[in-house]
Copies of this chain bind each other. A is one copy, B any other.
Amino acid sequence: MRLALDAMGGDHAPAATVEGALSFARAHAEHQVILVGDERRLRPSLPAGKPLPPNVALRHASEVVAMDEHASQAIRQKPDSSMRVCFELCRVGTADAIVSAGNSGAVMAGALLVLGRLPGVERPAFGALLPTLKGEGHCLLIDAGANVEVRASQLAQFAVMGDAYVRCVLGVAAPRVGVLSNGEEEAKGTELTREALALLKASPLGIVGYVEGKDIFSGEVDLVATDGFTGNIVLKTSEGTAMAVAGLIRSAIDKSGLSEKLGALLMKPTFAGLKKVVDYAEYGGAPLLGVDGTVVVAHGRSNAKAIHNALKVAAQQARSPMLAELKAAMARAQTWLPAKRSKARKGP
């Protein structure tokens, strides 16, 4: 796969993006990375005097979309920004996928402007892979933050898109799909969740019904659908809790006696494995689903390892039949989804 990397995106760019790209390219000779960014600013991070690995290319882009810039304005007014160029490379077929740790609002705006939505998709959404307790499993949370206020039909579409992702990329034959709510009984939830659940129950998806916050991690569902406001809060709460638990272990060890300190030393490999899971928010790459291309958003704080992993996720996704399957799934969903509201119709 040919992966366009927004080398200027993220808090630690371009040092972290270049290092992550080189490490990925060395480990995966079968893939190519196109480093997109300001050549003069990328150079200092590249290996001095040595040629680039054969599967890494440099593509100059003179502008940068800043992390705090107005998303859609930036993407429109900076046609030669590293992010926008990534999207263009994908649109013309030079790249198979895009990875960016930059302004996620701008990624969404760029994807909509340059790649466009897939037919039938009202709102593209971010997916986030959360670790589950059972084995090496994952649960896809969608929407993880793109759409703050949504309609029931849009929430149902998130489930359709997530279902295609889980089948094609995670290889789950028959995903179990839940709608996030404040209790399992059907009387729970908001008007939005109740309406979305009713729609989904009439769909061919493997709907298990409402699930609660704790079920995301239990491994009993493969996919949890929610609005982007709640999804963002789930993601950040989970990140905060994991950090708090890790911090509490650390401070307990600091305060503990000699034998416990020795114990902690002996357990170092265990904690290293744990850290990897705790850090999922930084090490995963969130797919943007519903646009006509493979787009993966890495955490803004991404280090080289996180970029490496996001490239891996993007390659896996681009190689899978996900995009075609998502299109087919959206076409099939038109039989049970309510007709899209006409644009002429005034608000609710």
Which A residues have a C-beta under 8 Å from some C-beta of B? Answer: 131-133, 145, 148-149, 180-183, 188-191, 212-218, 228-230, 232-249, 252-253, 256, 259-260, 262-267, 269-270, 273-274, 277-278
Contact = CB atoms under 8 A, between A and B. Distances in A.
Contacts of A133: 243-244, 247-248
Contacts of A278: 245
Nearest to A193: B229
Given A217-B244, A245-B246, A252-B270, 19 more contacts: A183-B232, A212-B240, A213-B232, A213-B235, A213-B240, A217-B241, A229-B230, A233-B233, A237-B241, A245-B274, A249-B270, A249-B274, A252-B273, A260-B267, A262-B266, A263-B265, A263-B266, A263-B267, A263-B270
B232 A234 contact: no
9 contacts: A182-B232, A213-B234, A214-B240, A215-B240, A218-B240, A233-B233, A237-B237, A241-B245, A263-B265
A248 B266 CA distance: 17
Contacts of A216: 237, 240
B233 A213 contact: yes
A217 B267 CA distance: 25
Contacts of A234: 213, 233-234, 237
B229 A256 contact: no
How many copies of the polypeptide does the oligomer hold? 2
B182 A145 contact: yes
Across the A-B interface, the 10 shortest Cβ-Cβ residue pairs: A263-B266, A213-B236, A214-B240, A213-B237, A182-B232, A263-B267, A241-B241, A217-B244, A217-B240, A263-B263
Contacts of A267: 253, 256, 260, 263-264, 267
B241 A269 contact: no
Instruction: Name the residue among A188, A212, A218, A278 with the largest chain B CB count within 10 angstroms.
Output: A212
Nearest to A134: B247
A212 B189 contact: no
A302 B235 CA distance: 27
A242 B245 contact: yes
A214 B191 contact: no
B236 A238 contact: no
B131 A244 contact: yes
A153 B307 CA distance: 44
Contact of A266 (B183, B246, B260): B260
Contacts of A217: 240-241, 243-244
A281 to B, nearest CB: 9
Contacts of A183: 232
Instruction: Name the residue among A190, A233, A262 with the largest chain B CB count within 10 angstroms.
Output: A233
A274 B251 CA distance: 10
Contacts of A248: 131, 133, 273-274, 277
A189 B229 CA distance: 7
